[in-house]
Amino acid sequence: MDTVFHGEIHLRRYLSDQGKPEQVLPDWTHSPERLVRYYRNMVLVRQLDYKIIALQRTGQIGTYASLLGSEAIDTVVGDLMAADDVLVPYYRNHALQMLRGLPIEDVLCYWGGDERGSAAAALGDDFPNAVPIATQSLHAAGVASAFKVRGEKRVAVTLCGDGATSKGDFLEALNVAGAWQLPVVFVVNNNQWAISVPRSIQCGAQTLAQKAFGAGIRGEQVDGNDVIALHEAVSEALKHAREGKGATLIEAVSYRLSDHTTADDATRYRASEELKAAWEREPVKRLQTFLHEQGWWDERQEQAWIEEVGQMIQTSVDAYLARPQQPIEHLIDYLYAELPNALEEQRERLIRNAQPGGSRHE
């Protein structure tokens, strides 16, 4: 029988779980600058996560999706994207949004149940968080189509979880990206769980990266706890897309070190040994060890940075908590560019009810 297609998926990884090089490292890792920046950003991201969880526990923020375990992915993608590329995130990418310029205050605002968290001009053309799973994959394909139609050398970058790879939207997006050779990069944060559903139940294939084959795009697997491997994979994919050569699917193998959200209790379905083992591979510590051994980072710098980050975050928290409530009419005024006549009466009722004496006045 003729062989009419042949494909392979490779796993890219440079640093061992213990932060030791497993193969020759790329040139850019020979100077500290970028790696230290990655590290500092990962620490910032993690501290922010801890803080938001604390705010949630004290009722100052709503249900929250922790990013613990995906710091490396968000950090590297955030760093490598060009300013005028467009990010099409999912709900676990607020760190990435922040690294692309969204003020922390707005991150808090969003998770605090306030639409203004997606309004900041700093977001540029970036999409707000997508909550319905995998819908963002298609939006990214649409964004990339716009770039392609206009001949712009911009790239759309979109992320999703391992669970999302089962949904038609994701697969349809890969397909059109291949058919139209779109400048888009799909990054799957394969953190092994979709709420309580393990990766093994999601899909019978050995890797998620091989979903690229069905669409005729590039696919590869990368250790999502290894910033060096991520850096290589993401920069190649961006370059490939920017040169008009089409899309890439990157499966970044990570682990969700947190509960699914603050509304979840993972102990109900996840063995504690598995979680413990995952902490041995986690990205921040891994890079820290490497930097220590290079002599590029020490305990003193760590303390200073944690303090600096802590203050930065606290300033944002204060600003968030002090932010006045949005005007009540915002609930209706942004629905259409112009208020249709048909909505005027409801708008009046909305405002009246919120006033002292109204049915909804607190």
Partner 1 sequence: MSNAITMVEAVNLALHSEMRRDQSVMVLGEDVGVNGGVFRATVGLRDEFGMKRVMDTPLAETMIAGLSVGMATQGLKPVAEIQFMGFIFPTMEHLIGHAARMRHRTRGRLSCPLVVRVPYGGGIHAPEHHSESTEALFAHIPGLRVVIPSSPARAYGLLLAAIRNPDPVLFMEPKRVYRLNAQPVEDSGETLPLDTCYTLREGSDITLVSWGAMIKETLEAADRLAQQGVSCEVIDVVTLNPIDHNTILASVDKTGRCVIVHEAPKSGAVGAEIAATIAEKGLLSLQAPVARVTGYDTVMPYYRMEHHYMPSTADILEAVNTTLEFS
Q: Rule CB under 5 A: which residues touch Mg ion?
A: 161-162, 191, 193-194
Q: Is-contact 79 85, C-beta < 8 A? A: no
Per-residue binding letters, 125-154, with ligand TPP (x by CB under 6 A): ------xxx---------------------
Q: Which residues contact 277 (CB under 8 A, 6 or more apart)?
A: none
For the bound state, the minimum distance from the C-beta of residue 248 to partner 1, rounded and expressed in Å, comes to 18
For the bound state, the minimum distance from the C-beta of residue 141 to a second copy, rounded and expressed in Å, comes to 12
List the interface residues with a second copy, window 175-194 (CB under 8 A).
Answer: 175-176, 178-181
Smallest CA-to-CA distance from 48 within 56, 113, 122 is with 56
The residue range among 18-26, 38-46, 106-114, 271-279 that interacts with partner 1, by the rule CB under 8 A, is: 106-114
Respond yes or no: is residue 40 known to be catalytic: no
List the interface residues with a second copy, window 302-331 (CB under 8 A).
Answer: none
- C-alpha torsion angle, residues 100, 101, 105, 106 (rounded to 10): -70
User: How deeply is 159 buried, as exposed, middle or buried, from its count of CB atoms within 10 A (0-12, 13-18, 19+)?
Assistant: buried
Give the one entry of partner 1, Mg ion, a second copy, none that residue 346 binds, where binding means its C-beta sits below a cut-off of 5 to 8 angstroms depending on kind.
partner 1
List the interface residues with ligand TPP, window 254-283 (CB under 6 A).
Answer: 256, 260
List the interface residues with ligand TPP, window 88-127 (CB under 6 A).
Answer: 92
- C-alpha torsion angle, residues 332, 336, 339, 341 (rounded to 10): -110
Q: Is-contact 186 248, C-beta < 8 A? A: yes
Q: Which residues contact 70 (CB under 8 A, 6 or more apart)?
A: 92, 95, 189, 191, 224, 254, 256
Residue 194 makes contact with ligand TPP by CB under 6 A:
yes
The residue range among 47-55, 165-173, 184-192, 317-325 that interacts with a second copy, by the rule CB under 8 A, is: 165-173
Respond yes or no: is residue 330 known to be catalytic: no
Pairing of strands 248-253, 86-88: unpaired
Residue with Cβ nearer ligand TPP (194 or 247):
194
Respond yes or no: is residue 292 known to be catalytic: no
Q: Is-contact 171 138, C-beta < 8 A? A: no
The Cα 185–Cα 87 span in angstroms is 10
| Residues that are catalytic | 256, 260, 269
> Binding residues for ligand TPP, per CB under 6 A?
92, 131-133, 160-164, 189, 191, 193-195, 256, 260
